[in-house]
Structure 1
Amino acid sequence: MGPVRIVIVDDDALVRSALRLMLDGADGIEVVAEAGDGAEVPGVLAAHAVDVVLMDLRMPGVDGIAATREVRRRRDAPAVVVLTTFDTQAEVEGALAAGAAGYLLKDAAPPRIVAAVRAAAAGEPVLAPQVARRLMDAAAASSADRESARARLARLTPREREVAECIGRGASNADIGHELHLSVPTVKAYTSSVLDKLDLTSRTHVALLVQQAQE
């Protein structure tokens, strides 16, 4: 097999130069092109056979998430490894949802970046330890929030729970009454009871709690 062919995408020319120097010096890796913006990537990929795109996220034109999405839509698309300074939850999830095979931070040691490029070329995912921990913490928090919401709703009687679920769907009192065969005053009474038992102050809060329990 030939060398792993890389495209470096970053709006900072000094970063591109440093990465090229590092990667071209690694055994079995060849930097075939560079791009200073996500908008340049399709043209680069049309001109070169590429195995891995090393992608920055925040660029002044087309950002890295949008560019990653476009790359991954191509037939025989190369793998994308994000290399960025930023690791916010939104950016990590956005990049992975767009199809990135890896997510590294720019303070990663050179051997780590080289290993990530090789892993991505071999079809293996790679995440910076900080990013993996962030995703694990977010998953744990989401699970904990869901279980907490379900526990709160468990305080309700079956009929109160039905009313709460209708509120969660955005139903009006009249709609709830029609669905559950209740009068509007009775629906209002059940709604007040739901608010009291859940220690909430509005139907909006009830709806949010119901949605959280279902996530």
Structure 2
Amino acid sequence: MYWERLRIVPALSFACVKVAFSQELNGSTEVEHMWVNDVYFDGERVCGVLVNDPNVLSNVKNGDEVAVPLEQISDWMFAIEGKTYGGFSVQAMRKAMSESERAEHDEAWGLNFGDPDVVLVAYEQQEHPQNLTEHPMSVNTKKNFEEFLRGYPDEITRTDDEGYTMLHHEAIAGNRTRLELLLAKGADKNAKNIHGKTALDYARALGWDHVAEALSK
């Protein structure tokens, strides 16, 4: 999603996550899992817009802007080049359908979900396994990014309203190539945001070992 926001022409047909929303009703906790799109992740929260009508809950509604911790995500799905990836819960439901019901379901979505027994996990893993460690655009745009930093050096130390630096964002996205350029140009790897976290904190929390290694030097 980091790279999708930077594209002039979108590569994804759509991308969304399923969130477990809850509410105390009549002395018990009711939970509904609903889809959220326009997804953005800041290392702390997954933000987006709810696109389902709740069946039971009254504390959220279709069209609400929401922000939830990563732990509330119960599924994810995106589509690219005519294929859907993720959608574990969707495929579980399709598996219980008849062939005609699956065809009707897919037509309603406007997508081809393929074999309900097969969940495509990652585009990079399926098509370009060598790019699993770092997104290829991080590497391929190295020269342009270096020219950008040369022309706008203030961006290296600029912070947003929550104290995130460019180094924070590159670490969250797993972009080691860009991160190394920032460090070479004097980015402060000890800078903390309002959550008291450095870029290294996010790299470790998100399992980006290749990024954590660069920040630990």
TM norm structure 2: 0.25
Structure (1 or 2) with the larger CA radius of gyration:
1
Structure showing the higher helix proportion among its residues = 1
- What TM-score do the two structures reach when normalised by structure 1? 0.25
